[in-house]
Amino acid sequence: MARVKRTLRERWRNASLKTSFMVYMLGFLVAALVLSTVTGSMFATLQNQATEDASEGTGLFIYDANAGLLQPARSVQLDEQGSTLYVQTASDYRNPLTVSQLNESTHISDASGHTYTTYSAAESPDGEGSGESVEGDNSFEFALASDSDLALFWNDEGYLPPANLAAYDAAARLLFAEWAAAHPDDPLADFARASTSRMPASPVGYYVYSLPSPEARALSGLFGLLTFLMFPLWFGVCIFAAARRFFRMRLEPGLAVLDEAATKIGNQDLNFHVAYNRNDELGHLATSFETMRASLADSQRALWRTAEERKRLNAAFAHDLRTPLTILKGKIELLDAHVQAGNASREQLEASSAALAHQVERLERYVAAMSGLQKLEDRTATPETLAFDTVAAGLDDIGRGLATAAHKQFALSLSPGCDVARPALHVDRTIVGEVAENLINNALRFAHSRVDARLDVSEGALTLVVDDDGPGFSAAALDHGCAPFFSETPSENHFGLGLNIASLLCERHGGTLSLENRPSGGARAIARFAMTFPDVDRP
């Protein structure tokens, strides 16, 4: 069970923001529907209870003259002509109404209305007669509400005031009793006795409408308004709660991480990591932020290294420039002293002139080397696809030419895999040739008699290994051999820039240059050139 819970929790954490928001909204909308239904029903019940007293005083009643009460009643149809009798009910939700306690706002109206028509035998609706009613003494329409004598009891609004109810009921019952006495054979005449005594049935009925009190009406209106507002209110509250919870649980943590990362990047503080361990849109954005931060950090470190390298290069240039300048200054002072003394011979002048020209030529070579080194900083690799034999043949020609001039031997070999497969190479041929020239030339300076080179292709890179049979690298050379102006045997024609230039060219080609000593003796330089390098063109 715990494993299932962890799995569900992990899936929820990794769900997309769109899916998460839909789940949040669905849950809260269901809650809103339930809450609005429950609270709406509650307020509707309260609304009914607020006017319940008025409801109990509304409906059909018959008047009990002895008790002064209006008794709840129901109507009973006596015949097809609509003659109605009102019968007191024994079980009813309504209670009897005390007439003396009714206020003037209670609406009482006469519900009576009888149409009773007699037919002659010849004209009865049994199929033997015409079925038409006979107008005359045998016909009676009992409509008390329209009787002129009873109309005096009504108010201007057409309702019977509670104070007039007793007199009205007595007059109506008397009117009905008079009619019944005049028509003793009529079935309705049997109810004449009910008009003058307390009976549970009466031909005269009343419809009572009891208005709620102003307080009850106000409370009922309030509860009705609340019933109406429950649906939009709960839906609005739940939507707000869903949005707030979704923002706090799913958006705010990620946005806080991104905001902090943006602030640090703006302050050029790249020594941090953007970590937001969720597989959603914000997690992907955080990953992109981390990629951007890492790229900026690499660029910043590269710029820092370049600045430091330039600083060291300028310091070395200034340091090495002092030697020829010091010699020039000394020669000029000596020549000036001879000229001032007047004992400068022709031979001395020629020797001084030759020495000055030699130092100037050395300065020119030094400045040219420095200029070439500075240009390497802005150089980029332009790789092209070349046949393996084309590159190998070019390196072999370089090695053999340099070895012949140095009166030493050179041999180029291929690794077993390259010798068989001879794969196509994607390299900058010029950079590879310049690196090979620098490494072979440096190896020939220290070799006793022989320099060997080997080509290999592995892990998407071309590797050039140059070995010599000389004394090998010193400990200082292994640590600083690729630094500018480092040389264990400085001379006027070698400024200690060969390995430094080779190292920079390897970096421009997305590779490296490393130095080591051979187990059997001698030095070894290993140059690697990347054949798939997206960052080669980056300055």
DSSP string, 399-425: HHHHHHHHT-EEEEEE-HHHHHH---E
Contacts of 220 (CB under 8 A, 6+ apart): 47, 50, 51, 212
Residue type, 198: R
What's the length of the chain?
539
What's residue 313's pLDDT?
Answer: 61
What's residue 256's pLDDT?
Answer: 84
203 and 220 belong to one structural domain: no
What's residue 318's pLDDT?
Answer: 61
Q: Cβ distance 51 to 217 under 8 Å?
A: yes
Q: Chunked in runs of 10, what are the mean pLDDT values of the chain (539 residues)?
A: 55 63 82 89 83 71 88 78 74 82 83 50 40 37 52 81 88 78 69 52 83 78 87 87 82 82 82 78 80 84 75 60 65 72 70 70 64 63 88 88 87 83 87 87 89 89 92 82 67 64 85 90 91 51
Q: Is 357 helix (H, G, I), strand (E, B) or coil?
A: helix
Contacts of 147 (CB under 8 A, 6+ apart): 175
What's residue 181's pLDDT?
Answer: 78
Q: Is residue 272 part of a domain?
A: no
**CATH number of the structural domain spanning residue 514:** 3.30.565.10
101 and 245 belong to one structural domain: no
Contacts of 287 (CB under 8 A, 6+ apart): 274
What's residue 505's pLDDT?
Answer: 84
What's residue 120's pLDDT?
Answer: 37
Domain boundary among 211, 233, 250: 211
CA–CA separation, 194 and 166 (whole Å): 15
CA–CA separation, 236 and 296 (whole Å): 45
* DSSP-derived secondary structure letter, 153: G
What's residue 188's pLDDT?
Answer: 63
Ramachandran angles phi, psi of 533, nearest 5°: -140, 100
User: How many CB atoms lie under 10 A from the CB of residue 443?
Assistant: 28
11 and 69 belong to one structural domain: no
181 and 84 belong to one structural domain: yes
Domain range for residue 156?
60-211
What's residue 344's pLDDT?
Answer: 66
Q: Is residue 452 part of a domain?
A: yes
What's residue 494's pLDDT?
Answer: 55
What's residue 3's pLDDT?
Answer: 63
Beta strand 425-427 with 450-458: parallel, antiparallel or unpaired? Answer: unpaired
Q: Is residue 517 part of a domain?
A: yes
What's residue 467's pLDDT?
Answer: 93
122 and 198 belong to one structural domain: yes
68 and 21 belong to one structural domain: no
DSSP collapsed to 3 states, 20-64: HHHHHHHHHHHHHHHHHHHHHHHHHHHHHHHCHHHHHCCEEEEEE
What's residue 486's pLDDT?
Answer: 67
26 and 80 belong to one structural domain: no
Q: Is residue 32 part of a domain?
A: yes
Q: Is residue 470 part of a domain?
A: yes
CA–CA separation, 299 and 301 (whole Å): 5
Tokens of 234: 């709960």
407 and 537 belong to one structural domain: yes
Domain boundary among 211, 229, 251: 211
Number of separate domains in the chain: 3
Beta strands per DSSP E along 416-502: 425-427, 450-458, 461-468
Q: Is residue 407 part of a domain?
A: yes
Q: Is residue 358 part of a domain?
A: no
* DSSP-derived secondary structure letter, 129: S
What's residue 527's pLDDT?
Answer: 94
What's residue 409's pLDDT?
Answer: 92
407 and 524 belong to one structural domain: yes
Cβ burial of 429 (10 Å; 0-12, 13-18, 19+) is: middle
The residues with which 426 forms a beta bridge, in sequence order, are 385
393 and 535 belong to one structural domain: yes
Tokens of 310: 């330039």
The residues with which 528 forms a beta bridge, in sequence order, are 463, 512
Q: Is residue 348 part of a domain?
A: no
71 and 184 belong to one structural domain: yes
CA–CA separation, 331 and 352 (whole Å): 7
Structural element, H or E, at residue 261: helix 252-266
Beta strands per DSSP E along 274-397: 384-386
* pTM of the shown model: 0.40
126 and 235 belong to one structural domain: no
